[in-house]
Chains A and B, each alone.
Chain A
Amino acid sequence: MTQTLPRFSTGIPGLDTVFGGGFVEGASYIVQGQPGAGKTILGNQIAFATAAAGKKVLYVTLLAETHDRLFQSLSTLSFFEKDRLGSNIVYVSVFQTLAKEGLGAVVDLLRKETKRQNASLIVFDGLLNARDRAETDLDVKTFVAEVQSQAAFVGCTVLFLTSAGIHDDSPEHTMVDGVLELHDELVGVRTVRRLRARKSRGSSALGGYHQYEIGNNGISVFPRIEAAFHTPSATDNPDPKPLRSGIEGFDEITGGGLPQGSITLLIGPSGCGKTSFGLNFLSASSREEPGLHFGFYESPERLLLKANALGLDLKGSVERKEVDILWQPLTENLIDKMAHRLLDAVSARGVKRLFIDSLGGFERAAVHPPRLVEFFAALTNELRAMGVTAVGTWELRDLFASGVAAPGPEISSLLDNLIMMRQVEIRSEYRRVLSVLKIRDQSFQAAPQEVYIDGHGLAIRGQFEQATGISTGLAKPLEA
């Protein structure tokens, strides 16, 4: 029979998920990374979370930096509570003990101190310095082994923080139960922080890189969506009843609206009415069917203005809390952070109508674009399982073009419904057209429809006139 080992929560958002539910109680971990990667913040954040849970922490430093300076920089972070110093968390320096009496004396001191403090967690900051003092690799191995075995004996979890430079085959790695690597790398012109659970004994960790950031609250980890939602968190219960779209004339040509719990891709060039489509869709939200606008372009204020100009009372919906607007400016973004933010917002309010403007916003944030297929697969599966009917836009590059460049075929096939909108030039006039190309499990009218935007939002009132080349935007009326 398999059993689950008792866990030690790190208190760092997302990190427990990466370690398959937290650290293992009484186990030992190496946290390694270049200076500036956030090791000390991570160690202290876990220390304060542990203390906040009513447990005792022993923070041992082997650094030349004084504790005072450490407290000074930590005081800028929200988790730091000065009152806990000396009571729940004790900071001690063993620099002098190491220098004067060697590694053996440090081991001895740690054993006595752990017992004296009744510590549940030891954070040992500066393992590399211990290496410097060791005559051979064997000494460090013995040191790590002794510290961890005496800690494990009293059920105390140990973190060894160290600057990069310990290799896979180093004795320390073979000794400890887990290794967490922190990376701070340049990708193009931006830096990206990523961490990786390199080794995790007794717990199935989510492998590979996960993005993290360091803010005022300390470290937040964003487990890679396709790993964290390898399978959806809930069972998918598809409801065959369509959801009314909120767009005049649309439900009539699609067999009742959009299938519930489906993902729609709305493609078209700039100015064709995609955002208006979404605002109409959201304006059908209610208390029972909450809506969410997750956009990269317009600020919430501008969206409300736009809706007002369309003749839609989005402001009222927002005030009645039927619709929420989450704006994610298209600047330097972390793709997984955004996806977690989206999913959290959906589950917090039980969102049923979701408009994402646009899916390209996620694509722009992808540091490693080849994973987008798996990313969107996990995200859309999770949304479906949560019973969300989502509409996502995709910008076409050319206003008028014979080629229609939808997202890659792998991504398009992840979506249930496909709608194309564009401006069409015909008889020296520009008119808007909407074509339903695919609707999951519902029959629909495949003919291009003329789109009207005339004071009551977006509306469809019949087929576009007979012409050729409509989908390219340059239409020619059929000869009589």
Chain B
Amino acid sequence: MKIVVAEDEFLIADLLVVCLEEAGYEVHDAPHGAGALTLVRSLEPDLVITDFMMPLMTGLELAEAMKADTALQGIPIILVSGAQGGIARSRTDLFDLVFDKPYAMDRLLTAVADLGREKGQR
């Protein structure tokens, strides 16, 4: 399973990438939404995990751009956010799951595995 991670904060991005890789996923990351969108277009991943507040393009804008693109609108998106969880939860059309920072990595990994199984069944 291929995952694109969008996160500007180095420590969080680094930890997330390492944990996902240890769990056996193929992970690509970008320090902002714009970079992530480029990756999504070229890699067509199975899942996108994105932060909200990022330079150049926010997680919300990234999700909107993906949903507007027929080739990408089927890719599930998990939002991981500090303060904007509320805004994101009101947009169930954009995000499959919303995690508030700080979150337990185990819970995130379980959610990723669940989404992977669902996708496999589809």
B87 & A93 in contact (Cβ 8 Å cutoff): no
Residue of B nearest to A72 (CB): B102
Residue A12 lies at the interface, judged by CB distance under 8 Å to chain B = no
For the complex of A and B, list the 9 residue pairs with the smallest distance between their C-beta atoms, beginning with the closest: A96-B31, A85-B83, A92-B55, A93-B8, A95-B10, A93-B9, A86-B84, A68-B101, A113-B55
**Chain A min CB distance to B68 (Å):** 18
Residue B74 lies at the interface, judged by CB distance under 8 Å to chain A = no
A67 & B31 in contact (Cβ 8 Å cutoff): no
Within 8 A of A (CB), among B10-30: 10-13
Residue B65 lies at the interface, judged by CB distance under 8 Å to chain A = no
Residue A331 lies at the interface, judged by CB distance under 8 Å to chain B = no
Q: A-contacting residues of B (Cβ < 8 Å)?
A: 8-13, 31-32, 52-56, 58, 82-84, 87, 101-102
Known: A71-B83, A86-B83. A116 touches B56 (CB 8 A): yes
Residue A4 lies at the interface, judged by CB distance under 8 Å to chain B = no
B31 & A100 in contact (Cβ 8 Å cutoff): yes
B-chain residues with CB within 8 Å of residue A92 when the two chains form the complex: 8, 32, 53-55
**Chain A min CB distance to B9 (Å):** 5
Inter-chain CA distance A95–B7, complex, in Å, is: 11
A-chain residues with CB within 8 Å of residue B32 when the two chains form the complex: 92, 97, 109
We find that the number of chain A residues with CB closer than 8 angstroms to chain B is 24
A109 & B56 in contact (Cβ 8 Å cutoff): yes
A-chain residues with CB within 8 Å of residue B83 when the two chains form the complex: 71, 82, 85-86
B10 & A96 in contact (Cβ 8 Å cutoff): yes
Q: B-contacting residues of A (Cβ < 8 Å)?
A: 60, 64-68, 71, 82, 85-86, 90-97, 99-100, 109, 112-113, 116
A94 & B8 in contact (Cβ 8 Å cutoff): yes
B8 & A85 in contact (Cβ 8 Å cutoff): no
B-chain residues with CB within 8 Å of residue A113 when the two chains form the complex: 55-56
Residue of A nearest to B57 (CB): A116
A66 & B12 in contact (Cβ 8 Å cutoff): yes
A95 & B9 in contact (Cβ 8 Å cutoff): yes
A-chain residues with CB within 8 Å of residue B56 when the two chains form the complex: 109, 112-113, 116
B-chain residues with CB within 8 Å of residue A68 when the two chains form the complex: 12, 82, 101-102
Known: A67-B53, A112-B56. A96 touches B8 (CB 8 A): yes
B55 & A94 in contact (Cβ 8 Å cutoff): yes
Inter-chain CA distance A68–B83, complex, in Å, is: 9
A-chain residues with CB within 8 Å of residue B12 when the two chains form the complex: 66, 68
Inter-chain CA distance A92–B32, complex, in Å, is: 9
Residue of A nearest to B102 (CB): A68
B10 & A64 in contact (Cβ 8 Å cutoff): yes
Contact of A86 among B8, B55, B87 (CB under 8 A): B87
A86 & B52 in contact (Cβ 8 Å cutoff): yes
Contact of B9 among A67, A90, A99, A109 (CB under 8 A): A67
Residue of B nearest to A110 (CB): B55
Inter-chain CA distance A76–B9, complex, in Å, is: 23
A-chain residues with CB within 8 Å of residue B84 when the two chains form the complex: 85-86
B-chain residues with CB within 8 Å of residue A95 when the two chains form the complex: 8-10, 31
Apart from A86-B84, A94-B31, list 18 A-B contacts with CB within 8 A: A66-B101, A68-B101, A85-B53, A85-B83, A85-B84, A86-B87, A90-B53, A91-B53, A93-B9, A93-B31, A94-B55, A96-B8, A96-B13, A96-B31, A97-B31, A97-B55, A100-B31, A109-B56
**Chain A min CB distance to B33 (Å):** 11
Residue of B nearest to A116 (CB): B56
Inter-chain CA distance A200–B35, complex, in Å, is: 39
A-chain residues with CB within 8 Å of residue B101 when the two chains form the complex: 66, 68
Inter-chain CA distance A32–B31, complex, in Å, is: 28
**Chain B min CB distance to A41 (Å):** 19
A-chain residues with CB within 8 Å of residue B11 when the two chains form the complex: 64-66
Contact of B82 among A65, A67, A96, A100 (CB under 8 A): A67
Of A60, A85, A91, A93, most buried by chain B (CB within 10 Å of CB) is A93
Inter-chain CA distance A96–B58, complex, in Å, is: 16
9 pairs of residues in contact across A and B, judged by CB atoms under 8 Å = A67-B53, A68-B102, A90-B53, A92-B32, A93-B8, A93-B9, A93-B55, A113-B55, A113-B56
**Chain B min CB distance to A111 (Å):** 11
Known: A85-B53, A94-B55, A112-B56. A71 touches B82 (CB 8 A): yes
**Chain B min CB distance to A220 (Å):** 26
Residue of A nearest to B30 (CB): A96
Inter-chain CA distance A82–B84, complex, in Å, is: 9
Inter-chain CA distance A86–B56, complex, in Å, is: 13
**Chain B min CB distance to A203 (Å):** 31
Inter-chain CA distance A68–B84, complex, in Å, is: 12
**Chain A min CB distance to B42 (Å):** 17
**Chain A min CB distance to B27 (Å):** 15
Inter-chain CA distance A68–B101, complex, in Å, is: 7
Inter-chain CA distance A99–B9, complex, in Å, is: 12
B-chain residues with CB within 8 Å of residue A112 when the two chains form the complex: 55-56
